[in-house]
Amino acid sequence: MAYDPTENEITRRSFLSRAIVGIGGLIGAVFTGIGGGYFLSPLWHKKKESWVDLGLVKDFREGVPVKVDFTVRKRDAWSTIESRSSAWIVTANLKEFIAFDPKCTHLGCPYRWSDDKKQFLCPCHTATFGIDGKVVSGPPPRPLDRYPTKVVGGHLLILPQKTAEA
């Protein structure tokens, strides 16, 4: 069999072009992996609980419900969404706190505390709730919803995710 230099040349060119394509593909795969990981990573990161600081425990008063406004920051994949919310805070001893969702459990109207009647009053359908959040009268099907609370370093923190009565 005779030596054919063009056949050798074609083989070398073919090898080089395949090597270039292969290296290019490898570089593309690496950048796709890095970029894809960056953009997709929020989807597999565990969501952190977002406790909200409502201030010093000593600033609340025993037996007097107080409505506190606060800002909720939620990370939604690549952005942070802020919204305003509020809670009714009740404490009997400045050690244990109850945080009520501010919407009536009937149809979601905002209710208020009456110092005279010592009850929460919902004006929409004249419901009343006790200081413990239990329904005293009216159509609400369940007690007021609550937010989890905890005291850390003398501050009252709440987790603004509704739970049923504890």
Point out which residues bind ligand FES (CB under 6 A): 104, 106-107, 109, 122, 124-125, 127, 138-140
Give the nearest distance from C-beta 82 to ligand FES in angstroms.
Answer: 27
Supply φ then ψ for residue 161, to 5 degrees.
-130, 120
Neighbours of 109 (CB within 10 A): 13
**Of 71 and 114, which CB lies nearer to ligand FES in the complex structure?**
114
**Of 139 and 148, which CB lies nearer to ligand FES in the complex structure?**
139
Give whole-number Cα distances, 65 to 11, 74, 76, 148, in Å.
85, 27, 33, 16
The amino acid sitting at 139 is P
**Of 127 and 156, which CB lies nearer to ligand FES in the complex structure?**
127
**Of 28 and 108, which CB lies nearer to ligand FES in the complex structure?**
108
Give the nearest distance from C-beta 153 to ligand FES in angstroms.
Answer: 36
Give the nearest distance from C-beta 126 to ligand FES in angstroms.
Answer: 7
Distance CA 48, CA 14 (A): 53
Nearest to 89 by CA among 147, 140, 134, 49: 147
Give the nearest distance from C-beta 69 to ligand FES in angstroms.
Answer: 20
**Of 94 and 136, which CB lies nearer to ligand FES in the complex structure?**
136
Give the nearest distance from C-beta 29 to ligand FES in angstroms.
Answer: 57
Bridge partners of residue 97, in order along the sequence: 91
Tokens of 69: 């406004």
Give whole-number Cα distances, 27 to 22, 36, 54, 90, 132, in Å.
9, 14, 50, 60, 63
